[in-house]
Amino acid sequence: MGDEIDPQKMKRIAAAAYDYEIDPRWTEYWSNVLIPPHMASRSDVVDHYKRKFYQRYIDPDFIVQPMSSSISSQSSGASQRSSSVPATENERSRNSGSSSGTYVPQGRTSSSFQMDKRTVNFAFNSWVFAMSIFGILPLVPKSISDKAYRLSLLGATFSSLFSLYTNFGIPRTWNQPSIHTWLQSVIATREFINLPYSIVLVTSWMPFKFALIPVLYWSVQHVTKFLRKNFAHSILFRKYLDEPCLWVDVNTTTIRILSSNAEVALGFLFIISLFSQSRSIIHTFMYWQLLKLMYNVPATSSYHQSVWSKINRTITPFINRYAPFLNTPISAIKKWWLR
């Protein structure tokens, strides 16, 4: 008679054998992990975050052991800056960062209070999801649709602010160096990008309804993560919501590509709106600055660069053939864009 096989041992073997390099979610996940360079090059640290990724996206029942004390003490100044990482890991990172000057929330919270924070964030995103549906569906009356459009963007603004505060806290001191350091740590995250996106659109007089596509994606992503983490064993969840949530996780890349296309197309709509009576030069300028940021930060760069490459391949032959005089201003715009 043989010994009983340890299921966690089999899961560890499966996690080690998983091909992370071909999964685009791993690239995005790892790009949003801020740790010192000397730690990022260590294979044991990389393997630990790969196991966390495997637990989050592949097998929620997989138990990840904490890093050894020697590793965790060296990386105490690092914190997880990604909306895709569970809030429990964010809490551990923030607690460990207190000894190295990392910017952390002022208070130390219990696990029950952390659950309250996650629940509040879930409530925000559920509201945004519902309002986005009403705002984007063509069958909804225009008066209701317009109000839902504004309310969804307003909810997305508060949700982004709450996520930034929960994940990154506030600067320890309100002087220029501290604020600058704090901004450098958050400006490349998806949570921060969502904030100016929502503010620009909610303050604009032009109701671009398909601009809700990225907002709908953010809210669906947060809602599905919360449901799968907290209601995975519920009979009602397994019966009605498990497959939709799984579909969202499996098709994350496709949804992100659709969202990036909508964000870029919205920039051109802002330019077209300059010829209308509802034009706003300030909003157009702000949104194109945001597009430039999306093109360069790791959280969105791969998707936006793919969209712009496709646009470049499509229009370049026509410009060279019918309007070669546009090559000079386009080159100047590209230099500004890549600066």
SS3 for 285-321 is: HHHHHHHHHHHHCHHHHHHHHHHHHHHHHHHHHHHHH
Conformation bin of residue 62: beta by default, left when phi > 0, alpha when psi is -120 to 50: beta
Q: Average pLDDT for residues 133-160, to the nearest whole number? A: 92
pLDDT bucket at 152, cuts 50 / 70 / 90: very high
> How many residues are listed for the chain in this entry?
339
Of 99, 110, 107, residue with least CA distance to 170? 107
Is residue 189 within 8 A of residue 81, CB to CB? The reply is yes
Q: Give the pLDDT confidence score for residue 104 in this predicted structure.
A: 42
220-239 confidence digits (pLDDT tens): 999 998 998 888 888 888 88
45-69 confidence digits (pLDDT tens): 888 888 888 888 888 778 888 876 5
pLDDT bucket at 113, cuts 50 / 70 / 90: very low
How far apart are alpha carbons 138 and 12 in whole angstroms?
48
Q: Give the pLDDT confidence score for residue 5 in this predicted structure.
A: 58
How far apart are alpha carbons 225 and 180 in whole angstroms?
31
Q: Give the pLDDT confidence score for residue 32 in this predicted structure.
A: 78
Alpha helix segments (H runs only) across the chain: 7-17, 24-31, 37-40, 43-57, 69-74, 87-96, 111-136, 142-168, 176-186, 190-202, 212-230, 235-236, 242-250, 252-273, 281-296, 298-322, 327-338
Half-sphere exposure of 222 (CA within 13 A, CB side): 28
Provide the mean pLDDT of the chain: 81
Q: Give the pLDDT confidence score for residue 335 in this predicted structure.
A: 87
Residue of 72 and 286 predicted with greater confidence: 286
Residues 6 or more apart whose CB falls under 8 angstroms from that of 184 comprise: none
Q: Tell the residue number behind the tokens 């998806």, with chain if given.
A: 190
Is residue 44 within 8 A of residue 35, CB to CB? The reply is no
Is pLDDT above 70 for 105?
A: no
Q: Give the pLDDT confidence score for residue 45 in this predicted structure.
A: 83
Please give the single-letter amino acid code of residue 27.
T
